[in-house]
Structure 1
Amino acid sequence: MNILSKKSSLSGTVTVPGSKSHTIRACIMAALASGTSEILNPLTGADCLSCAEVIQAFGALVEMDGNIWRITAPEKGLRLPSSPVDVGNSGSVLYFMAPIAATLPGWTEFTGDASICTRPVGQIIQAIKDLGGDGFTARKDIDAPPFSVRGPIHAGRVEHEGAFSQQISGLMMAAPLLHGQTEIILRNPKEMPFLQMTCDWLDFTGIHVRYDREKLNRFEIEGPQKYRSFRREIPSDWGSTAFPLVAAVITGSKLEIANIDTSGSQGDSAIAGVLSAMGADIVMDSEKKSLLVNHSGKGRLSCLRGGTFNCSGFPDAVPALSVAACFAEGDTHLTDIGIVRHKETDRIALMRTELAKLGAGLEEGSDYLLIHGTGGKGLHDAAVNSYDDHRIAMSLAVAGLGIEGNGVLIENAECCTVSFPGFYRIMGEIGAGFVCMD
């Protein structure tokens, strides 16, 4: 599907879907518990549906009843799948489930779509080996799925570079199933808010973890411990909030984003602070749980300016922030984002090339993106490609809302269903000029 994004002014109130990060953690921990758990307001995006299919392959029962998912754990615990496990496009499911699968005796094979089959897995395979398991990739000398792991692993000590928080979260989820103490040491932890999110979910489901909340570089988990079932509502997704937020900022639109997560549990919430530091008019109403954008009437061109921002804690926000930076005056330097090259795509390289097609000036390094902002001047319409990456698709669609001309054409735009089902329709309801060209 191709989408044409035309310059627009937004208004009204918009609500974003539930958090993908919370939903996937909830599904997996429900499958590890005993009895039935209820998940309210789950994200129904493709990655979360993949997670539901995967935990069913391990023996869980998943019932989807409107806005409630009920997950019943298998009575005798997870069991080895009877066929290869396909995680679709979800790196979280891949990295979470590999060490959990390795707690079972026998081999489990993991695969996924074309993007997943480029994701590095060498470090998680090595971690499994360090704990007494085994593993290998199916393609010689290619550090990516398909790959297989064999258990059972045993409690012990694991050292990990720490760049891939999802791999660390998977090890933490597996550790309570083992007998004895598992110690996970990180040499250089990244995406730290997501590590904290996993610790919070473990605590919520009855698992005790010893760790330093400041450094988040060492985790000690004694096993066995039992996960308990739960009933919990999933908060709205800050990763999705980024797109209407940036859209309102760059178009100077007055917008309310309702039902936001004010718990501080999602690292991507930092995007509001970054945009505010750039001069955007954003007010958080904690009582109403909403974000108010441009309600003071400042507009955008008079206030957005560049700056330097370390994004290691919220790398998924980089595509949206790079669009905002194109509409700021002066340079914006997004740093410590090397992990972004190993997401669904190499988002550093692709945001540079696709925004350049729109007339933006950008430079990239191994772990940074430098955007030469012009306040939006000189940007023009063009055809761009999402490369089947949901965050790139939505970021480029948002960029088109602020650019004069006949419209920015986003090719392969349907992939946004991974994290924001109904994105184009929902944004259209507040005035976004999105036109389906198919």
Structure 2
Amino acid sequence: MLNPLPPALTIVPPNRPLVGRVCPPGSKSITNRALLLAALANGTSRLTGALKSKDTTLMAAALRQMGVTVEEPGATSFTVTSTGRLRAPAGPLFLGNAGTATRFLAAAVATVDGEVIVDGDDEMRVRPIGPLVTALQSLGIDATSPTGCPPVTIRGKGSFGSGRVEIDGGLSSQYVSALLMAAPLGDGPITVALTGSDIGARGYVDLTLAAMRSFGATVQQLDAGTWLVQPTGYQAADLLVEPDASAATYLWGAQALTGGKIDLGVAADAFTQPDALAQAVIAQFPNMPAVIDGSQMQDAVPTLAVVAAFNNTPVRFVGIANLRVKETDRIRAVANELNRILPGLATEEGDDLLVASDTNLASRSQPARIVTYHDHRIAMSFALAGLKLSGITILDPACTGKTYPEYWDMLAGLGVELQPKA
């Protein structure tokens, strides 16, 4: 409906409940895990219900550079054929600002016999990867990252080593998942252990373990922060990817803000992704809790914060320090843009975010041009504000292609008017 997307879009409040059926795209988290594991598996794997977006396209392209055959027989399917081993690419792997793919591949390419450079765009080059590089080095892997951020250079010897590797997962659970997924290609058993009790979004590690087992890995959880991985390698498998829970949060938010009813075709409790926890919180609108711990549903926090702006009472978001090292500093970005709508609506207090809430917001706000910071989640969450407020314009709406290319078409399909702006 909107192709190509204009430089900006103004959302016209529908002034009615949004009602309809929307099928969210496939999970980005599961699709990227499945693509990598299929590439590390011997044989042909078929992935259905998968996400086709900028992030997964970059992952697939990187795998093709390393000798893996990745075909796309349908709009939501991949067929991946591999010998179970990655080959050294002719040039650097460019992964844009795809943090998941960058971190997963930084570990996986250690199994290559040869040099691999994992790199990204300017935004990716300021996102930390140092703890993962240090962990790789402890396994005897030649890995360097002079800035503690990409680019990362790995000089592999065809194996992931063996023994024990410790990792601080407090900054990102992706470090832990990266090590776990590469571990079955070790010379012997590998123990992956957390150095502390904190881990960003532990539920994503559970996603990783489930995906690994689908492709034949043997993993034993020794305690809350220690896993023993056997050197089984992987075998090809067929996998159905569930819908994306992070994408579903926008639909749950739209339903709550308009008093509508949107059928996603899947119940909230059927999701295995951590962000599905947001549904129970959104369902309490306009009486959301005074304090929301976002540590285990990090990508849902921008959605929750925008919805909270219309809550009956203020909401404090805690446990969200990791949001400062996402595609942008999401704590600051959300605060900035809420205050652009109405000064004083949001406050940063350390790494907490306090949303003041205003039940009369719709009548008090001024038109606002929302800066998205090249961040898909800022664009999609603040579009929800436009369902209640007149004059909300989203700059760079195309950035939603990172994970939800059909986002604007979805809103239009629900009857929301979108006005192109220069």
TM-score band w.r.t. shorter chain: over 0.9
Q: Tell me which amino acid in the other structure corresponds to 1:435.
A: Q
For 1:97 and 1:248, the matched residues in 2 are separated by 37
Matches within 5 A, 1:265-276: 265-276=272-283
Provide the alpha-carbon RMSD of the alignment. Answer: 1.6
Alignment match, 2:101: 93
Alignment match, 1:145: 150
Kindly state the Cα deviation for residue 33 of structure 1 after the two structures are TM-superposed: 0.7
Secondary structure at the aligned position of 1:78 is classed as coil
- 1:192 pairs with 2:195: no
For 1:209 and 1:356, the matched residues in 2 are separated by 47
Q: Percent identity?
A: 30
Kindly state the Cα deviation for residue 319 of structure 1 after the two structures are TM-superposed: 0.6
Q: Tell me which amino acid in the other structure corresponds to 1:5.
A: I
Q: Contact 1:183–1:218 (CA<8 Å) still a contact in 2?
A: yes
Deviation string 1:303-343 (CA, Å, 9 cap, x unpaired) is: 43442121111100011000011010111111111111111
Deviation string 1:252-272 (CA, Å, 9 cap, x unpaired) is: 223322245644410010010
Alignment match, 1:397: 383
Alignment match, 1:31: 39
Kindly state the Cα deviation for residue 394 of structure 1 after the two structures are TM-superposed: 0.5
Alignment match, 2:3: none
Q: Provide structure 1 residue ranges, at least 5 long, that are not aligned to the other structure.
A: 281-302
For 2:57 and 2:192, the matched residues in 1 are separated by 29
Q: How many residues in Structure 1 have an aligned counterpart in Structure 2?
A: 405
Q: Contact 2:252–2:282 (CA<8 Å) still a contact in 1?
A: no
Secondary structure at the aligned position of 1:355 is classed as helix
Kindly state the Cα deviation for residue 117 of structure 1 after the two structures are TM-superposed: 1.3
Distance 1:418 1:216, change over 3 A: farther
Alignment match, 2:248: 241
Q: Contact 1:35–1:72 (CA<8 Å) still a contact in 2?
A: yes
For 2:95 and 2:50, the matched residues in 1 are separated by 18
For 2:350 and 2:115, the matched residues in 1 are separated by 36
For 1:269 and 1:201, the matched residues in 2 are separated by 18
Distance 1:376 1:65, change over 3 A: farther
The structure 1 residue matched to 2:217, chosen from 198, 207, 226, is 207
Q: Contact 1:268–1:316 (CA<8 Å) still a contact in 2?
A: yes
Alignment match, 2:235: 228
Q: Tell me which amino acid in the other structure corresponds to 1:236.
A: P
For 1:262 and 1:350, the matched residues in 2 are separated by 30
Distance 1:413 1:76, change over 3 A: closer
Q: Tell me which amino acid in the other structure corresponds to 2:241.
A: I
Q: Tell me which amino acid in the other structure corresponds to 2:367.
A: D
Alignment match, 1:132: 140
Kindly state the Cα deviation for residue 70 of structure 1 after the two structures are TM-superposed: 0.5
TM-score by length of 2: 0.92
Distance 1:264 1:411, change over 3 A: closer
For 1:118 and 1:248, the matched residues in 2 are separated by 36
Distance 1:176 1:32, change over 3 A: same
Q: Tell me which amino acid in the other structure corresponds to 2:244.
A: D
Secondary structure at the aligned position of 1:102 is classed as helix
Matches within 5 A, 1:5-404: 5-8=11-14, 9=16, 10-66=18-74, 67-73=76-82, 75=83, 77-137=85-145, 142-152=147-157, 153-163=160-170, 164-186=172-194, 187=196, 188-211=198-221, 216-223=224-231, 225-259=232-266, 262-276=269-283, 279-280=284-285, 303-359=286-342, 361-377=345-361, 378-403=364-389
For 1:151 and 1:222, the matched residues in 2 are separated by 20
